[in-house]
C-alpha cells in the first residue's frame, strides 16, 4: 500500500462527524472512513515504522464505559510510533488539520520520579532545557499535565522549576489542512516533524523509560 496523502474527504468526514456523532452516520459513511482515513493512515504507518519504531493506527471507537460523554466515535484518527510504552511520536487527523507531536504521557509514579531526578541533575537537566528551548524557538508548543506549583522536595527557585512541574511532557504543532497534506509530500511533513522531536523522545527514553544517566 502506497501513501498518497490525506484527501480532502478525510477532513470533511470528521467535520461532519463532529455534527452527527452517531452510529447511523458512521455506518452510512464507513466507506469514506475506510478509503480516505484508515487506508492512508495505515500506508503512512508502514512508511514511518522503520525509522521511528513500531507504529499503531488507533481504533476509531471511543471507550465510553466510564465516560459521561457517550459519543461512540473519536472525532480524530490517531497514529503513534515509538519503542517504549507511553513514549514516542503521534499524529492526529481531525476536521481541520493534523497535530504532530512527540513526548510521553500516562507515566507511572516511578517514571515521574525518574523524570524529575533527571531534570534536577545538572547534566541531564541542562540538556533537556536546551532541547525544549530549541523546540519552542521553532514554534513547537510544550504540552502535558503540570502541577500548579513546584513538586514537593524541590525548591521553588530551582533553575528548571517549570520543567519539574510536568507530570507528562511533550511538544506538538498543529498543521491546518492544506494541499501538502492532500498529497504524498505529507509523509515528508510528518517525517521531518517527528525528526525534530527525536532529541526530546530520545532524552525521555533514556532518562524516564530506562533510568539511564
Q: What is the pLDDT of residues 58-100, one digit of tens each?
A: 999 999 888 889 999 999 999 999 866 678 999 999 999 999 9
In the predicted structure, residue 147 carries a pLDDT above the cut 70: yes
Q: Is residue 193 domain-resident?
A: yes
- The secondary element (H helix, E strand) that includes residue 183 is none
Residue 173: domain span: 8-209
Average model confidence (pLDDT) across the chain: 94
Q: What is the pLDDT of residues 151-160, one digit of tens each?
A: 999 999 999 9
Q: Is residue 88 domain-resident?
A: yes
Q: Is residue 3 domain-resident?
A: no
Which pLDDT score is estimated for 84? 60
More confident residue, 84 or 29: 29
Q: Is residue 52 domain-resident?
A: yes
Which pLDDT score is estimated for 67? 84
Q: Is residue 2 domain-resident?
A: no
Structural contact between residues 75 and 176, judged by C-beta atoms closer than 8 angstroms: no
Q: Is residue 1 domain-resident?
A: no
CB neighbours of residue 46 within 10 Å? 14
Find the helix packing angle between 109-120 and 122-137, rounded to 10°.
Answer: 90
Q: Is residue 153 domain-resident?
A: yes
The Cα 76–Cα 92 span in angstroms is: 6
- Global pTM reads 0.92
Residues 6+ apart with CB under 8 A from 25: 16, 17
CATH of the domain at 170: 3.30.930.20
More confident residue, 171 or 85: 171
Which pLDDT score is estimated for 85? 63
In the predicted structure, residue 213 carries a pLDDT above the cut 90: no
The Cα 10–Cα 16 span in angstroms is: 10
Mean pLDDT of 203-211: 84
Amino acid at each position: 500500500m502506497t501513501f498518497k496523502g490525506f484527501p480532502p474527504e478525510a477532513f470533511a468526514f470528521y467535520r461532519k462527524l463532529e455534527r452527527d456523532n452517531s452510529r447511523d452516520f458512521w455506518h452510512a459513511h464507513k466507506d469514506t472512513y475506510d478509503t480516505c482515513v484508515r487506508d492512508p493512515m495505515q500506508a503512512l504507518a508502514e512508511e514511518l515504522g522503520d525509522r521511528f519504531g513500531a507504529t499503531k493506527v488507533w481504533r476509531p471507537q471511543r471507550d465510553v464505559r466510564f465516560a459521561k460523554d457517550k459519543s461512540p466515535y473519536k472525532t480524530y484518527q490517531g497514529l503513534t510510533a515509538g519503542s517504549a510504552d507511553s513514549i514516542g511520536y503521534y499524529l492526529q487527523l481531525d476536521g481541520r488539520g493534523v497535530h504532530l507531536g512527540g513526548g510521553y504521557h500516562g507515566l507511572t509514579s516511578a517514571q515521574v520520579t525518574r523524570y524529575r531526578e533527571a531534570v534536577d541533575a545538572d547534566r541531564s537537566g541542562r540538556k533537556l532545557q536546551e532541547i525544549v528551548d530549541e523546540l519552542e524557538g521553532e514554534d513547537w508548543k510544550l504540552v502535558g499535565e503540570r502541577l500548579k506549583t513546584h513538586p514537593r522536595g524541590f525548591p521553588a527557585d530551582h533553575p528548571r522549576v517549570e520543567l519539574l512541574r510536568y507530570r507528562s511532557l511533550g511538544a506538538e504543532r498543529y498543521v491546518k489542512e492544506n494541499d501538502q497534506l492532500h498529497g504524498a509530500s505529507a509523509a515528508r511533513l510528518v517525517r521531518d516533524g517527528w525528526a525534530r522531536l527525536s532529541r526530546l523522545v530520545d532524552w525521555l527514553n533514556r532518562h524516564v523509560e530506562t533510568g539511564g544517566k
